[in-house]
Amino acid sequence: MSETGKVLFIGVGRMGNPMARRLLAAGLSLAVCDLSEQALEPFRRQGLSVARFPAELAGEAVITMLPTDAEVREAVLGERGALSGPHRRAVLIDMSSSAPGPTRQLGQELARAGVAMLDAPVSGGVSRAQTGELTTMVGGSGEVFERWRPLLAHMCATIRQVGALGAGDAMKALNNYLSAAAFWASCEALVIGARAGLDPAVMVDVWKTGTARSHALEVKIPRAVLPRTFDYGFSLGLMAKDLGIAARLARSCDVPAPLLAATEGHLLHARDALGPQADLTSLITLIERWAGFELPAGACASDKEEK
Ligand code: NAD
């Protein structure tokens, strides 16, 4: 057993699967939990302890990578949650993009049970989860952060403590506001430009070396929009959830945020029109539908991040 002890990883979906694999590759002892048998199957085949409910699995460090704080709460405090079984837990590290309020509430309840908590949401997407190069923004006490930082380092190349419990979640929601607004604006600009006779691949190449530069132009659009694969690996439903967290944060701080409100509204519309499981990058098809025009297929600019 490593000095980290056994890790219980809950939620091995698009992000959790490659993150758990990084821990395995580092030689850590791992148990894996997911409600989906399909998600568990590759870990079962490797001989790991797996289960649909956390109570059955050992692990003093519990990592959650679940859709929202509601699932995190259920997985930890629910009837068959991590705290209900016979196993000792030292810490919960919630790496999901949760909301700050529910995270602080859960942290207080866990403290009463003698379990520490960090919120450590990540940015970087599936490709950086695979290479262990995620960025994490961590909320919690300095002591707990330092104790568990080596565990985070197996999954994340950039690790920043950004404040008390809940601060990581606030930082992440605002990160995704910026990311979603840039992505939506880039898709609109692409459709307008193509309609005006500009070449999509050339637009992307020019903008990403100019002041319009963004992750949307450098990675998402070359990788999943121009080739029309729409397989970036992040769902519209989860991005709409993140915009909701950011909008509630703005309201709770009495900060008027009209662009955030508009971006959230557009994301909710896209989620309802295309379905919550549709890939974020497919939202350009909605803009194309409104324009009655589709980007020419096969246009593909270089993808700087591709290795
Ligand atoms: P996903 O839907 O692919 O995976 C979620 C997994 O959780 C699924 O396998 C599901 O079966 C499982 N699950 C749901 N409820 C459960 C429960 N109660 N108990 C056990 N397992 C349960 O989602 P994802 O894209 O991996 O995202 C996970 C989190 O990471 C979200 O909060 C998301 O916002 C955030 N995030 C995603 C990305 C991305 O690019 N996909 C990037 C950064 C952050």
In order of their start, the domains of the chain are 6-164 (3.40.50.720), 170-303 (1.10.1040.10)
At 298 the pLDDT is 60
Establish whether residue 33 lines the binding site of ligand 1, counting it when its CB lies within 6 angstroms of any ligand atom. Answer: yes
The position carrying tokens 């000792």 is: 88
pLDDT higher than 70, residue 192: yes
* Residue 251 neighbours by CB under 8 Å, 6+ apart: none
Sign of CA dihedral 263, 269, 275, 278: negative
Q: Which amino acid is at 217?
A: L
Q: Which residue owns the Cα nearest ligand 1 atom 30? A: 96
Q: Is residue 243 within 8 Å of residue 230, measured between CB atoms?
A: no
* Residue 250 neighbours by CB under 8 Å, 6+ apart: 256, 257, 260
* H runs (alpha helix) in the chain: 16-25, 37-45, 69-77, 100-112, 125-131, 142-153, 167-195, 200-207, 215, 236-252, 258-274, 284-291
Establish whether residue 169 lines the binding site of ligand 1, counting it when its CB lies within 6 angstroms of any ligand atom. Answer: no
Copy the structure tokens of residue 29.
């002892």
Catalytic residue among 172, 208, 220, 241: 172
Instruction: Measure 197 CA to ligand 1 centroid, in angstroms.
Output: 40
Known active-site residue 304: no
Least confident range from 140-154, 219-233, 261-275, 293-307: namely 293-307
Confidence class for position 297, pLDDT limits 50, 70, 90: confident
Copy the structure tokens of residue 104.
């602080």
pLDDT higher than 50, residue 44: yes
**Rounded average pLDDT over 54-80:** 98
Share of the chain above pLDDT 70, in %: 95
**Rounded average pLDDT over 51-75:** 98
**Coil vs helix vs strand at 139:** strand
Confidence class for position 300, pLDDT limits 50, 70, 90: low
* Residue 209 neighbours by CB under 8 Å, 6+ apart: none
For 127, 258, 280, the CA distances from 119, given in Å and listed in that order, are 22, 28, 24
Q: Is residue 63 within 8 Å of residue 93, measured between CB atoms?
A: yes
At 305 the pLDDT is 47
Burial of 245 (0-12, 13-18, 19+ CB in 10 A): buried
pLDDT higher than 70, residue 64: yes
Compare 56 and 299 and report the one with higher pLDDT: 56
The position carrying tokens 């993808």 is: 303
What is the per-residue pLDDT across 78-127, written as a single tens digit (0 to 9) for each? Answer: 999 999 989 999 999 999 999 999 999 999 999 999 999 999 999 999 99
Establish whether residue 233 lines the binding site of ligand 1, counting it when its CB lies within 6 angstroms of any ligand atom. Answer: yes
Measure the CA–CA gap between 27 and 25, rounded to whole angstroms: 5
